[in-house]
Structure 1
Amino acid sequence: MILTRQWRDDAEGQSLIFWLATEKGPARVQISQTESVFFIAENDRHRVVKCLDGLVNWRYSEVDLKCLRSGEPCLACYFSCQRDLGFARRLLERRDISVFEADLRPTDRYLMERFIRGVAEVVGPAEEKSGYVEFINPRMRPAKQDLALKIVSLDIETSVTTKTLLSIAVHGLGRDRVFMVGEERKSEFDFLEWAPNEESLIIRFLEWFTFLDPDVVVGWAVVGFDLKYLQERCDALNISFTLGRNNSQISWRVVEKGAQRLFAVVPGRVVLDGIEMLKTATYSFRNFSLENVSRELLGRGKLIHDVDARAIEIEELHRNDPYALARYNLEDCKLVMEIFEKTKLIDFAVKRSCLTGLELDRQGGSVAAFDFLYLPQLHRKGFVAPIVDPQSVVNSPGGYVLESTAGIFDDVVVFDFKSLYPSIIRTFHVDPLAMMADDEFRIPGFLGASFSKRKH
């Protein structure tokens, strides 16, 4: 099972790095000296060469591909790293030169062109490393695998007064542990481990995490709060936040699409947030607080009495009853794990990745999933995908919505056609390639469009 995918630019060129969970343990795959690619119309060859005259480490090559919309022959432009591709793309677009398929990640293109979706077989010599095996430039091909992933649930408790960590809890793999700042005391709780200060707490937690070596980390707002807070405290204390495999640090990126969203890539491990996963799986709740969701799904909630004032109560428990705080911290981890188990969110993420080819932690991504599945097939038909002009998009009619009647009714019937869009696509053979086919057997569509019954 492919857990994470990244690319790295260095003096030797671009390398693709994949971490996989296998029956024999974690594996790291490195594909070295790869090239990033986009396509241009052959008619733009001379303009492109002139525009990119000062850019080194790129080349173009003739390919047996045409632009889907215009039918013009295309050229492939290869770059030694993704950064250069992005620079060239911006340069050409500023001069109104069309580039095709320039927004694909090199890791995704590598997998999709080999029809690898979620699970891969790695063929080649392996070298034993500390805690994993490593493959350098092996062959990767599609595979099927039913593998039980190693999962832990993570939760932290903090002080709103001192802005520091109070405790970190980890639940799963039969080894529960709570790390807490404070003087060591005798206790019947064998899962509680004391640390003299915040720095020692984090270091001991990272050691324990490396020992557990999970494939998947789950939590509640785990990226936007828990991991972000841990990263901030590590930065403040000059500690390397090596949560990834092979002592790798987290890679952070911010996506600005409406509301700002924070993403964390932990090399070799998948981080799944309970809130985002439930929304992706189309669950709906009055609110998505852990207290509310756990009560609705599990019939029980947090151990804190006043959930709305829990920040104050957490600090009081740390001072006066640290064992109660340890139980509370660990119980939050257990609630999250049980929610994932009851709703089968891990199974959902794995199945979706195997169907779409997207990462296990990818939220949304319907366009990316379409690209992953469709583009390799389109290339084998001899075409590259066109650029979508936002100005040319025409809204299609949706379903008919009845006027509502206000009031309270005893009986309400809801009619809903599940998977309506996929059904329409299959029924009418909706396919960009089918619009290009010269076929006497055509299916009429909306606004004069028609699709081929045989070529799609």
Structure 2
Amino acid sequence: MVLTARMLTKGSHQLVEIWLATENGPVKLLSTPENATCFTGQADAAQVAAISRSHNLHTSLTPLPLTTFSHQPVTVIKCQQDKQLHILKRRCEEQQITLYEADIKTPDRFFMERFITSGLQYQGLSDNALGAIVNARVKPANYRCNLAVFSFDIECDEKGHLFSIGVDSAAIKVVLMIGEATETESLPFDIQWCTDETDVLRRFIQLVQHHDPDVLIGWNIKQFDLPVLNNAASRCGVPLALGRQQSDVEIKLFDDNRALVDVPGRAVIDGIEGLKTMTFQFDSFALDNVASELLGKNKLIDDPDKLGAIKHLFNHDKVALARYNFEDCVLVNEIASHVKLIDFLILRSELTGLRLGRPGGSVASFINLYLPKLHRAGYISPNRPADGGLASPGGYVMSSKPGLYRNVLVLDFKSLYPSIIRTFKIDPLGLIEGLKSTEQAIPGFKGAMFDRTKHFLPDIITNLWLQRDEAKRQQDKPRSQAIKILMNSFYGVLGSGGCPFYDPRLASSITLRGHEIMQQTAQWIKQLGYEVIYGDTDSTFVHITKTVDLAEARTIGKALEREINTRWQERIRQEFDLECELEIEFETHYERFFMPTIRGSEAGSKKRYAGLIRRDNETQLVFKGLENVRSDWTQLAKDFQQALYARIFNDKPVEDYVAAVIAGIKAGEFDDKLVYTKQLRKPLKEYTKTAPPHVKAARHADDMNTQAGKPLRYQRRTKIRYVMTTAGPQVVEYTSQPLDYDHYIDKQIRPIADSILPVIGLDFESLASQQLGLF
């Protein structure tokens, strides 16, 4: 399994260094000399050659039987080193000469052109002096082995001075702590007492080198832990040699606080990046919040001034700090195990060629899968649009019919956009070939025509689709999830100006076909005697106007599913002479369903609704886009909405409940639920034009910190927990004035009540006036 790959310069040439994980331990491969490659039009080849000679770049240019998407013949350019290609690219840009595929990194091209994703076979010569297989030749193989994983976490002060480093793995459980040895009771880990920062760093490096993990994992380790360690190592004069064969960590920092981290021979997995790649969503990606939601566990320090608490423990109770440090390492491992994060990333690597520690990568995945096939079909890739591309139409969203309903069915098209790509053969190559000969081509939108046989993407998706069906049968959730995310990313890639295959005709032929399918589906359902009250991208909401029980509703849903599928199969066969890959499914039956209006309007809202469903003989409330699922509303608002809707959906009176909530707020019974949470999206000083409440609270808090001689805590990208007081917003730990209860009633309770009470003939103003009159 490929763990890492990078370019190494050897004399005038460059090699690809590849680190593999095998069942017999790590293996280092060094390739034969590998050129940096790009293309140019044959009409520009002579000028490119002249530029190369004038800058002594040692390039070779060879005409090829390949063309651009505009059918212009091309010449391949090969440079001995990447840095030469970078110079050539800049000089050609100055002369307004186009180079194609010049931004494809050489290691990525090395693997993709050999159709290698994760597993490979190799041949070469063993060089003991280099500890590597040299002149390695590789080819793809299905291979997987177990990976050794180190979860680590650091504790430090606000200036990055280290206190401790914790490690949790199958091989070792330890905290390296600066300080003098202290007698301790039995602990689930060892404490190694260190003299200073230099000692901590050296011991950590020794542990990594001795136990030799394949994977380093942690929480925010790319943006925080490893940069802090790198700075500490530089300050202490200790090379941060965490890579295999004592190679140093390579870190590139950007102005927006991003960091690119490379540890040769070891995959670096950031837990936050990994969960986001798996499409997890949380109000906050702080470790304590994610651990609480996924594992039901809380961190050992629950103090608003966490840094202050950590510094206090370092000075007064280092064993307690060691427990906290080690617990963070354990939580990361438990979260990764719970969601099968590493399994997911291995599967993603096998499917796409993306390395384990790489975040996101939808465009890169598409290029890895598509580009080598395109070359073999006689074309090279276009370049990304310089202007970022034009926006393509989004998914279909129908104007809703607001109201409170009984018996609403939801019918979803299964993976609608991938199904459209498969059915209508939407594909970059198919578009170019279809426009050459339109007679038998499949019409798309905005002038697009697609070839019926010359294409790759529909077949790629079909293969993934079959793999996902098999994964579902085997209940292999990580594989199923990885494939689903990959398939669903293809539309976004084709509509993204960051993709070289971007073309508005491609994305529009997907989304506008989706609009057509959704509108026609709604029309058919209406013809069958049912009311369509809403439609969103791939979902159609159907109201059964007559009274039915649960069994009858499900029978109707299944009948609609069969009828719509039959109609689409017939229509696409008759109109396009194509096999229909569209499949609609009866997904959900809402016994009660509420679609609100847009605030201040009679029009129905979009992407906002709530409903009551029954699962395993138990009812469950579902909220979409309403206050209950939004992170910027208080817990009281969420609880109130949950309870109010539950009463209304179950036909229970609500007047006494609303009155009790208002009275409870005024009496201070809900103070612990009146906290707002909001993230600073940029440094505090950059909020100049406007100052939202959380910014005002942060400024007030740091004014207080300044007066108290404490470190400033709220200057950049910090989560602010604040309340509204009679003196304005204040952070929880610096609340000096009474809470503004009228604010919470007016801004948190009233909007929720106003959205639904009128549909049952009630008015919040009347209920509130009666209650407030008591005070």
Question: What TM-score, normalized to structure 1?
Answer: 0.92
Residues 304-341 of structure 1, C-alpha deviations (whole Å, 9 max, x = no match): 132x2221221222222221111111011000110000
Quote the Cα distance in structure 2 between the aligned partners of 1:239 and 1:167: 16
Instruction: Count matched residues.
Output: 449
Bigger mean CA offset, 422-431 vs 337-346: 422-431
Bigger mean CA offset, 101-110 vs 259-268: 259-268
Which residue in the other structure is 1:76 paired with?
Answer: 76
Which residue in the other structure is 1:427 paired with?
Answer: 423
Which residue in the other structure is 2:754 paired with?
Answer: none
CA contact (8 A) 2:425 2:450 kept: yes
Which residue in the other structure is 1:305 paired with?
Answer: 302
Bigger mean CA offset, 412-421 vs 43-52: 412-421
CA contact (8 A) 2:119 2:141 kept: yes
Could you tell me which of 263, 269, 277 is aligned with 2:274? 277
Aligned pairs (5 A) from 1:89-100:
89-100=89-100
1:143 counterpart = 2:144? no
Pairwise CA distance, 1:175: 1.3
Residue 65 of structure 2 aligns to which amino acid in structure 1?
Answer: D
Quote the Cα distance in structure 1 between the aligned partners of 2:387 and 2:225: 42
Higher helix share goes to which structure?
A: 2
1:331 counterpart = 2:327? yes
Pairwise CA distance, 1:260: 4.5
Quote the Cα distance in structure 2 between the aligned partners of 1:294 and 1:392: 38
CA distance change for structure 1 residues 24 and 439 in 2, over 3 Å: closer, same or farther? farther
Residue 293 of structure 2 aligns to which amino acid in structure 1?
Answer: E
Aligned pairs (5 A) from 1:228-307:
228-254=227-253, 259-306=256-303
Pairwise CA distance, 1:33: 2.3
CA contact (8 A) 1:12 1:33 kept: no
CA contact (8 A) 1:152 1:172 kept: yes
1:372 counterpart = 2:371? no
1:363 counterpart = 2:337? no
Quote the Cα distance in structure 2 between the aligned partners of 1:373 and 1:113: 10
Pairwise CA distance, 1:299: 0.6
CA distance change for structure 1 residues 44 and 233 in 2, over 3 Å: closer, same or farther? same
Secondary structure at the residue paired with 1:376? helix
CA distance change for structure 1 residues 415 and 388 in 2, over 3 Å: closer, same or farther? farther
Structure 1, unaligned stretches of length 5 or more? none
Quote the Cα distance in structure 1 between the aligned partners of 2:87 and 2:410: 51
Secondary structure at the residue paired with 2:369? helix
Which residue in the other structure is 1:59 paired with?
Answer: 60
CA contact (8 A) 1:13 1:32 kept: no
Secondary structure at the residue paired with 2:394? coil
Quote the Cα distance in structure 2 between the aligned partners of 1:429 and 1:197: 64
CA contact (8 A) 1:218 1:274 kept: yes
Which residue in the other structure is 1:351 paired with?
Answer: 347
Residues 171-225 of structure 1, C-alpha deviations (whole Å, 9 max, x = no match): 0124101000001233344611001111111111111111111111111111111
Quote the Cα distance in structure 2 between the aligned partners of 1:192 and 1:345: 28
Question: What TM-score, normalized to structure 2?
Answer: 0.55
Could you tell me which of 164, 185, 201 is aligned with 2:182? 185
Pairwise CA distance, 1:344: 0.7
Residue 229 of structure 1 aligns to which amino acid in structure 2?
Answer: V
Quote the Cα distance in structure 1 between the aligned partners of 2:124 and 2:45: 39
Quote the Cα distance in structure 2 between the aligned partners of 1:163 and 1:139: 44
CA contact (8 A) 2:32 2:137 kept: no
CA contact (8 A) 1:5 1:19 kept: yes
Superposed CA RMSD: 2.3
Could you tell me which of 123, 129, 150 is aligned with 1:152? 150
Residues 45-98 of structure 1, C-alpha deviations (whole Å, 9 max, x = no match): 22222333312211111222111x221211111111111101111111221211
CA distance change for structure 1 residues 172 and 399 in 2, over 3 Å: closer, same or farther? same
CA distance change for structure 1 residues 166 and 417 in 2, over 3 Å: closer, same or farther? farther
Residue 205 of structure 2 aligns to which amino acid in structure 1?
Answer: L
Larger C-alpha radius of gyration, 1 or 2? 2
CA contact (8 A) 1:170 1:178 kept: yes
Q: Which has the higher contact order (CA 8 A, sep 6+)?
A: 1
Which residue in the other structure is 2:311 paired with?
Answer: 315
Which residue in the other structure is 1:197 paired with?
Answer: 196
CA distance change for structure 1 residues 90 and 406 in 2, over 3 Å: closer, same or farther? farther
Secondary structure at the residue paired with 2:142? coil
CA contact (8 A) 2:438 2:449 kept: no
